Amino acid sequence: QVNVAIRSSLQSLREKIDQLRELLLRAVSTRQITQLEGDRRQNLLDELLTRHKQLEASYRNEGPEPDMSRSSLMAGGAKRGITNPWLLEEPEETRGLGFDELRQQQRRIIEEQDAGLDALSSIISRQKQMGQEIGNELDEQNEIIDDLTNLVENTDDRLRTQTRHVKLVDKKSTSCG
């Protein structure tokens, strides 16, 4: 009865891994997730598949001795460089602190971050204001340049007209005299 339950659970695990793989391929192909995230999830799926194969080998009493296989499966992949976050040592700054002290420390850190964000926000607001003022000045300068361009074009047109008149007068004066 236990063997049937184990075989059934292993088969169910394999089917769910295959479903995850299909969903992942669909999510990547429809661009619901980025390629980088798809690669990360693919690595996790490959790890699940490896663990599934190890479980099957352990069930059939293949591979390394059963105690070694079980301990490596339960270690959360520590042999492959993946560490269990619950087994990490506590950092010095939080060691020995109680729940309330940890909460106070987190609040202090958040307040410091908020103060930094407020300072950053005021700097960005000032830069935005400066950018808007520069944009307004550029608009005014462009209007002045457009006005000058129109004046130069009008002057050029008048100069051409006057030049034609002078040529016409010169031509008439040479033909008369």
Angstrom distance (rounded) from CA 18 to CA 45: 9
Find out whether 26 and 20 touch, Cβ atoms under 8 Å. Answer: no
Rounded alpha-carbon distances, angstroms, from residue 79 to 46, 70, 86, 165: 16, 13, 16, 98
Angstrom distance (rounded) from CA 35 to CA 38: 5
Where does the pLDDT of residue 93 fall: very low under 50, low under 70, confident under 90, or very high at 90 and above?
confident
Where does the pLDDT of residue 60 fall: very low under 50, low under 70, confident under 90, or very high at 90 and above?
confident
Q: Pick from 58-72, 89-103, 105-119 the range whose average pLDDT is largest.
A: 105-119
Section 12-38 average pLDDT: 88
Angstrom distance (rounded) from CA 142 to CA 69: 76
- On average, the pLDDT of the chain sits at 82
Angstrom distance (rounded) from CA 64 to CA 57: 9
Has residue 17 got a pLDDT over 50?
Answer: yes
The pLDDT of residue 58: 82
The pLDDT of residue 74: 53
Count the neighbouring beta carbons within 10 Å of the beta carbon of residue 172: 10
Q: Helix, strand, coil shares of the chain as percentages rounded to 5?
A: 80, 0, 20
Angstrom distance (rounded) from CA 120 to CA 101: 29
